[in-house]
Amino acid sequence: MRHQLSASYLSQKRTKAEYGFWLYLMTDLVLFASLFATYMILRHNTAGGPSAAELFDPAYALLLTIILLCSSFTSGVAALAFRFNKHRLGLGLLTATIVLGAAFLMLELLEFGTLVAEGESWRRSAFLSGFFTLVGTHGLHIFIGLVWAGAMGWYATAHGVTAHFQRKFALFTYFWHFLDLVWIFIFTIVYLGARLS
């Protein structure tokens, strides 16, 4: 005999999943906070190498910021579209999120590549170690988010936009907005902060 999962059991599961995911994001925030603290402490330890003001271009970082904010926006609207059963629109917006996220990651890797090519890699000084680790950790999160988004897109095409999918998609958007938030701090502290010092 097949038994349907009761609605209360499912809603309890959903509450727990959302709550736990929030807590995970908060622990991730502590992780980033430690990296920010490290960066702040080491940012003047350039060991005779270039400083933040000499290396970073806030305009370029602003471009990255705009791209990432747009992807956050499209992911949010995608969640709404799925909720109102506009599945094709939702999938389109999800694709846009992935494209924008990938563009962000490419531009970031381009910046890293330029720095390394100029000889200013993470080996150059403690300051650059801190920079590459902080920004790189964010980039790694973006990469995992892209894999996740791709899997969500594949699932929606293969199985349709089920209630199960909507629940999981909500978690993905939390993750994506969270990365946006962390990026805002990176933009402010690393790139704008470079001008201040």
Among candidate residues 102, 107, 128, 127, the one with its CA nearest the CA of residue 116: 128
Would you give the distance in Å from CA 9 to the centre of its chain?
Answer: 32
Q: Give strand ranges (E) for 38-173.
A: none
Q: Counting contacts by CB under 8 A, is residue 157 touching another protein?
A: no
Minimum distance of another protein from residue 89's CB (angstroms): 22
User: First and final CA of the chain: distance in angstroms?
Assistant: 70
Residue 168, CA atoms < 13 Å, CB-side half-sphere: 14
95 vs 121 by CB, closer to another protein: 121
Q: Counting contacts by CB under 8 A, is residue 38 touching another protein?
A: yes
Q: Counting contacts by CB under 8 A, is residue 53 touching another protein?
A: no
Distance between CA atoms of residues 97 and 148, nearest Å = 12
Q: Counting contacts by CB under 8 A, is residue 47 touching another protein?
A: yes
Residues at the contact surface with another protein, assessed by CB under 8 A: 1, 3, 5-6, 9, 12, 15-16, 19-20, 23-24, 26-28, 30-31, 34-35, 38, 41-42, 45-47, 122-127, 129-130, 132-133, 144, 147-148, 151-152, 155, 162, 164, 168
